[in-house]
Structure 1
Amino acid sequence: MTGTVEDAVTGTPPGLDAHLVVEREAFRLDVRLRVAPGEVLALLGPNGAGKTTALRALAGLTPLTGGRLQLDGVPLDEPGRRRRVAPERRPVGVIFQDYLLFPHLSALDNVAFGPRCQGVPKARARAEAAELLARMGLSDHAGVKPRQLSGGQAQRVALARALATGPRMLLLDEPLAALDAGARLDVRAELRRHLAAFEAVAVLVTHDPLDAMVLADRLVVIEHGTVVQEGTPAEIARRPRTDYVARLVGLNLYRGRAEGHEVAIGPELALATAEKLSGPVFVAFPPSAVALHRTRPESSARNAWRAVITGMESHGDQIRVALTGEAGGLPLAADLTTVAVAELGLETGTPVWASVKAAQTHAYPA
């Protein structure tokens, strides 16, 4: 049986309420999402985590095998009741990674395409499209074909086309991935402004932590088809709960057991922390907090252990040094200046001492 968008559930709060279950032979997605109108949610995760599957399920391009999907109280996909609204009948706008603008149509006609498909008269559809392009600052490009647009301009046309049908949910698949680094900064800020003005639900998929932190009000991190962490960008950055999230926000992260100001990470290694806790905890600190020495340090740092350099690469204006600790094999990242690397004579395989001050660590319950 096919549902209709008129079948609203009375008393249900507006916005997205979804339990997305998609089962395949070697993969299972099981993710719960709630997004309020006016909120921008970012789905983050490594390749193969299930982000794109979740986005396709929200768009109706991948049917659910379990769970349910409601938007503004309207059931869009309920496998248990054999109800499903076809993708083209859902009040959903999608911006694909490569934008997928129609190459034979002008920017104006690309934007007017959706309303025309909904039966809006041509003159009215083109007038509304012109107004949307004006909001995007593209009035002068209304008659231009996609191949003549820059990456940033094409992205704005794709956004206007997605908004033209008045969607109640906007889905963005890696919306800035097709842009070069030079255009990304300006377009990211512009996209944030447009999303802030969008009054319905917005969900974006990205692997770029900066895009997520700038564009989204809330983050949901997916690994292996399930949610491993969610919260505001600040909450996620301050308290990562998996190695992937820690790498994403640029932190060293360890799990151990706290007794007072000491956290046992392994059988032969403990870290002194500023916080006094008890029980299972995470300990995090930035690579910039790590100091490297060729001999055992005589500083006030209470945390010092032997390590071996396993790799080095440029990281902004510094060198990111990857290490493995001798005690318990503790992996570690340290940020050093090029001068410090040269003065210490560091290279892959070099044995060193690593140290971190307790005051630069952050411990919190696991």
Structure 2
Amino acid sequence: MAALDARLQVERAAFRLDLSLTAAPGEVVALLGPNGAGKSTALRALAGLLPLTAGHLSLDGTLLEDPASGLHTPAEERPVGVVFQDYLLFPHLSALDNVAFGLRCRGLRRTAARTEARPWLERMGLADHALARPGSLSGGQAQRVALARALAVRPRLLLLDEPLAALDARTRLDVRSQLRRHLAEFEAVAVLVTHDPLDAMVLADRLVVIEDGRQVQAGTPADIARHPRTDYIARLVGLNLYRGTADGHTVTLPDGTALSTADELTGPAFVSFPPAAVTLHRGRPDSSARNAWPLTVAGLDLHGDQVRVDLTGPLPLAADLTPAAAAELDLAPGTEVWAAVKAAQTHAYPA
């Protein structure tokens, strides 16, 4: 039986969320989507901070919310822990008392709450910072205090709202690794809200991609990365993506452009390939590539140690080149080039 079983329907002035969400005990689910997709609305609804307009929310077989019957369990009465984006630590309390705060809200006296909170700080590697106040902690340390506070009340549902967004790049690497370890030890359900694909891919067992208040794709990180089904997901995982109709090893797009693929299909299909699979030439290529199009450079940008070239024309696409290759081709906005992709480097799958 699913530990979390929810149909989150929320009507707001100019927005409607309609999302079904289930999770097994010990599962980490990431809600991934662009700004305004409904991720934070879903998290607030799960926490009880935003009432459902319709649907239901059940946790470990206990119904927490059912608008049809008027049931709405208040946020403070739900077995839910939340780690907010900016952590919301109390600046006047020590790290230990911040962790103990939720326990005191559950009725424990100060001494007992501190006694129970201390092992959580030790688990986070912060035993030496028990008396420190948030202002003297690093971003990574503050994040771990917030996580310890959320876990100390032994929630059955842990909600993490962009938990790494406030960290610098170097700290983020370390804290992401630590967070993954802590989530692996968590026995209940964790729901992570993020717009960062790397956070989602590393931390989650399953991704639920939301656009415009609805699920557009769900699956394991590997499946999502290999089979994107929307332009947003394709951009996240770094692929060029097209939809058309397959007939054998050819997929024809709505405008008539044909792509040769290594995969054999019939019917509606997607075709994807990475920017690194694209080669650029100043003239028509004399190569074995069966896919070649005359395109125009629309822009260039550094993408890691590569140059990402955005191209427009019959088949708008992105190509990744080494800086040396980009310089040799003398690329600039407006430059006309030929782009080629070998069929063996494309991937076609049913739409």
Query: TM-score normalised to the size of structure 1?
Result: 0.95
* Equivalent residue number for residue 197 of structure 2: 209
* Equivalent residue number for residue 13 of structure 2: 25
Opposite residue 337 of structure 2, the aligned amino acid is: V
Q: Report the alpha carbon displacement of residue 14 of structure 1 after superposing the two structures with TM.
A: 4.7
Tell me the distance in 2 between the aligned counterparts of 1:25 and 1:91: 29
Opposite residue 352 of structure 1, the aligned amino acid is: V
Output one character per residue of 1:251-286: Cα deviation in whole Å (capped at 9) or x when no partner. 000000000000001333100000110000000000
Q: Do structure 1's residue 351 and structure 2's residue 336 form an aligned pair? A: yes
Q: 2:145 aligns with which of 157, 160, 165?
A: 157
* Residue correspondence of structure 1 range 201-350 to structure 2 within 5 A: 201-325=189-313, 327=314, 330-350=315-335
* Equivalent residue number for residue 32 of structure 2: 44
The alignment of Structure 1 onto Structure 2 pairs a total of residues equal to 351
Tell me the distance in 1 between the aligned counterparts of 2:240 and 2:258: 15
Q: Report the alpha carbon displacement of residue 115 of structure 1 after superposing the two structures with TM.
A: 0.7
CA contact (8 A) 2:2 2:22 kept: no
Tell me the distance in 2 between the aligned counterparts of 1:144 and 1:29: 41
Output one character per residue of 1:278-312: Cα deviation in whole Å (capped at 9) or x when no partner. 00000000000001111000000000011111111
SS at match of 1:266: coil
Q: Do structure 1's residue 363 and structure 2's residue 351 form an aligned pair? A: no
What percentage of aligned pairs have identical amino acids?
71
Q: Which runs of 5+ in 2 are unaligned?
A: none
CA RMSD of superposed structures (Å) = 0.7
Q: 1:141 aligns with which of 129, 132, 135?
A: 129
Q: Report the alpha carbon displacement of residue 26 of structure 1 after superposing the two structures with TM.
A: 1.2
Q: Do structure 1's residue 117 and structure 2's residue 102 form an aligned pair? A: no
Opposite residue 157 of structure 1, the aligned amino acid is: V
Q: Report the alpha carbon displacement of residue 75 of structure 1 after superposing the two structures with TM.
A: 1.1
Compared with structure 1, are the counterparts of its residues 94 and 224 closer, same or farther at alpha carbon in structure 2 (3 Å cutoff)? same
Q: Do structure 1's residue 67 and structure 2's residue 58 form an aligned pair? A: no
* Equivalent residue number for residue 85 of structure 2: 97
Q: Report the alpha carbon displacement of residue 77 of structure 1 after superposing the two structures with TM.
A: 1.2
Compared with structure 1, are the counterparts of its residues 261 and 14 closer, same or farther at alpha carbon in structure 2 (3 Å cutoff)? closer
Tell me the distance in 1 between the aligned counterparts of 2:311 and 2:163: 34
Tell me the distance in 2 between the aligned counterparts of 1:160 and 1:293: 55
* Equivalent residue number for residue 4 of structure 1: none
Tell me the distance in 2 between the aligned counterparts of 1:66 and 1:313: 45
Q: Report the alpha carbon displacement of residue 128 of structure 1 after superposing the two structures with TM.
A: 1.1
SS at match of 1:48: coil
SS at match of 2:87: coil
Tell me the distance in 2 between the aligned counterparts of 1:267 and 1:106: 63
